[in-house]
Amino acid sequence: MDVTFQFDWQAAIASLPHLLIGVPWTLLISFGGLAIGFLIGIVFGLLRISPLRLLRWPATVYIEIFRGTPVLVQVLFIFYGLPQLLGGPINAVVAGIAAIALNSGAYISEIVRGGVQSIEKGQREAGLSLGLSRTDTFRYIIWPQALRRMIPALGNQGIVSIKDTSLFSVIGVGELVRQGQIYIATTFTALEVYLMVALLYLAITLSLSFALRLLERKGLVGQ
């Protein structure tokens, strides 16, 4: 069988204006979810290292549930399952942001826990010996150092969450993949369109990776 393969670059370039409509939604869901997830991660990460078992257990349960289940299942549960409990529909974008927030929050919790525990005990003892309270010691000595060490891992989690938004086309969010699906339905140029979708995701994630490397070169992250 003679199969002729031809890639249509004009069709690929023509799809860009349509695909770019989905970029703001992708960024809104990913960065909006990550911002909330960071706050969740701080709270549950600190609870995870609490000396009180009553505080550690809820944090552990949350982390294990959201790290142990796929983000696709989580967003489907939020979008289709929760409305049955709440008695009303949930906006698809809100569901996507919530899924990224809860999922990334679980991973960020472990990043926070590891970052704080990586600081030597002598740092805490030095702060207390200077007359600082435990809260001030954590705020002014432990946390700034821990945050610097966490930034590379937080950046990696950001990249993962950006790519996870591609799954939210299943609930009708108008992000990159969804815009590609809509365009393909009328042009039948799946190969060209999905290649451009992949290149746009690559441009976003490479930009974030470049920013992280720049911070590392300037000595703003790490040890």
Model pLDDT for residues 150-198, shown as the tens digit of each residue: 999 999 999 999 999 999 999 998 899 999 999 999 988 899 999 999 9
Residue 104 lies in a domain: yes
pLDDT score for 123 = 83
Residue 154 lies in a domain: yes
pLDDT grade for 140, boundaries at 50, 70 and 90: confident
Residue 222 lies in a domain: no
Q: Sign of torsion, CA 183 186 192 195? A: positive
Tell me which DSSP letter residue 79 carries.
Answer: I
SS3 assignment, position 172: coil
Record the pTM. Answer: 0.91
153's tokens = 């891992």
> Among residues of the chain, what percentage have pLDDT more than 90?
70
Per the structure, how many domains does the chain have? 1
Residue 98 lies in a domain: yes
pLDDT score for 125 = 81
Residue 32 lies in a domain: yes
Taking the C-alpha atoms of residue 57 and residue 188, their distance in angstroms, rounded to an integer, is 51
pLDDT score for 219 = 64
Q: Tell me: pLDDT of 128 over 90.
A: no
Average pLDDT across the chain, whole number: 91
Domain that holds residue 69: 23-172
Residue 161 lies in a domain: yes
CATH code of the domain covering residue 34: 1.10.3720.10
Taking every pair of C-alpha atoms in the chain, what is the biggest distance, in angstroms? 83
pLDDT score for 220 = 63
Residue 17 lies in a domain: no
